[in-house]
Amino acid sequence: MYLSPADIRQTRLTTLDNLLAASQIWVDASGRFAELGLRAGRQALDDGREHLEELVAQTPLRIELPPLERLAAWRGDSAEWMREAFEIIGDAQQGILATARDQVAALDTILMRQMDRAALSADATGEAAIDHVRHAIREAEAGFNELTDAAARGTDLVEEQIRQVSEAIAPETDPAPRSRRTRS
């Protein structure tokens, strides 16, 4: 059993490509987070400046809570930023899962080639053992693929839940007063 120089070269290139892809996923996610943070920060500063200008314009000066509409808008903005943050995380997770799947497939391919080469010089008992190893490798890859699929579905479910929460706490056009009655 041996790895040819071409096998080694191709496996290394594939591994490096997958590492580069994983790094690029996190670089992109970091850029998206930075942009989201800048947007949220700018909006918070603008809203704070507006509120300060309103306070300064009052005579006599009365420090009051911002109007309910403004609080509802801030709540909606926060919900949207939270949704976007989880979307960024979800996209990165999906990309990493796909990259991991590609890397495992590349390693399994080279391992299967080695099994094929070993089977060429094996006796009947060795060939049966190699077939069992091949089967185990295929089963392990199928199991890994099922796990990555389940993780991807889990990420999708979390994103959907975050979207629903964001919509639930987004501002309404006419906020209804809340009842102060406790539930029993």
- Identify which has the larger pLDDT, 181 or 2: 2
Percent of the chain with pLDDT over 70: 91
pLDDT in tens, 26-47: 999 999 999 999 999 999 899 8
Question: End-to-end CA distance of the chain, in Å?
Answer: 73
pLDDT tens, residue by residue, 86-127 = 889 989 999 999 999 999 999 988 888 888 888 888 898 988
Q: Is residue 171 scored above 60 in pLDDT?
A: no
pLDDT at 177 over 70: no
Return d(Cα 152, Cα 36) in angstroms, integer.
Answer: 23
What is the token pair recorded at 41? 């920060």
pTM above 0.75, yes or no: no
- Per-residue pLDDT, 173: 42
Which residue has better confidence, 60 or 45?
Answer: 45
For residue 158, the model assigns a pLDDT of 80
Among the listed residues 148, 164, 142, the one whose alpha carbon sits nearest the alpha carbon of residue 134: 142
